[in-house]
Amino acid sequence: GNSVTQMEGPVTLSEEAFLTINCTYTATGYPSLFWYVQYPGEGLQLLLKATKADDKGSNKGFEATYRKETTSFHLEKGSVQVSDSAVYFCALSAGGTSYGKLTFGQGTILTVHP
Amino acid sequence: NAGVTQTPKFQVLKTGQSMTLQCAQDMNHEYMSWYRQDPGMGLRLIHYSVGAGITDQGEVPNGYNVSRSTTEDFPLRLLSAAPSQTSVYFCASVGQVAGELFFGEGSRLTVL
């Protein structure tokens, strides 16, 4: 079956530091890949997505590139802010009739200190 | 501009009690789903619906029941609560883009 593995957290950084959160996946076919973010006390919201190999998703300074050869979709940001403190989830959708069914990673807690 | 609305936000139950978590969306989305979020396990799909009158099981459906009588509403029923059902529950609907889910704010359930 499909699965998503994220790097263990929590991750603690100082403001303006570089962020990488690793994500690898196992899936048949050509899944779409997503990063969702959950701020304290809120539901998840879509941060960025990529639907085919070599696509780069980007939003709010975050980027991730769909690497089929390494089955990875690592999240990066060049300079984090305190307001980026949240839980980040990598997810995949197998598409087709499963277009609304996502497989999530376990989540990575990010804390950014001033 | 409500989006996806879940009630209640918090609930405490005793083992064996039943309850219904409510979910409503105002975006006219056909696809809706329920997930549970547990520490270290991400979100796991409980049940989903591709339209009014159509529901199906997800990854962890045991102990839960759903129905979809209207496009807007997708309630989740716990038939006989167990401590293993202590979790945060999220309802979501899916827009035009595959995989783009719109989540409610969650319902935190504790079963004693």
* Contact status of B34 with chain A (Cβ, < 8 Å): no
* Range B38-64 average pLDDT: 92
Pull the structure tokens for residue A70: 């390494």
User: What is the number of other CB atoms lying within 10 angstroms of the CB of residue A31?
Assistant: 27
The nearest CA of chain A is from the CA of B16 a distance in Å of: 28
Q: How far apart are the first and last CA of chain B?
A: 36
Q: Which among B40, B44, B106 has CB closest to A43?
A: B106
The model's pLDDT over B23-41, given as tens digits with 9 standing for 90+, comes to 999 999 999 999 999 988 8
A→B contacts (Cβ < 8 Å), by residue, are 4, 32, 34, 36, 41-46, 49, 51, 89, 91-93, 95, 99-102, 104-107
* Range B44-72 average pLDDT: 94
pLDDT of A30 reads 84
Question: Which of A8, A59, A92, A104 has the highest number of chain B CBs within 10 A, making it the mutation to test binding with B?
Answer: A104
Beta-carbon pairs below 8 A across chains A and B: 66
pLDDT of B107 reads 96
User: What is the number of other CB atoms lying within 10 angstroms of the CB of residue B8?
Assistant: 12
**C-alpha angle with apex B97: A47 to A61, nearest 5 degrees?**
20
Q: Tens place of pLDDT for every residue, chain A, 114 residues?
A: 889 999 878 999 999 999 999 999 999 888 999 999 999 888 899 999 998 899 999 999 999 999 999 999 999 999 999 999 999 999 998 876 666 788 999 999 999 999
pLDDT of A7 reads 84
Q: Which among B41, B44, B103 has CB closest to A45?
A: B103
How far, in Å, are A39, B26, B40, B88, B102 from residue A72 at the CA level? Answer: 24, 35, 20, 28, 24
> Confidence class of residue B100 from pLDDT cuts 50, 70 and 90?
confident
pLDDT of B1 reads 65
pLDDT of A101 reads 85
Q: What is the mean pLDDT of chain B?
A: 93
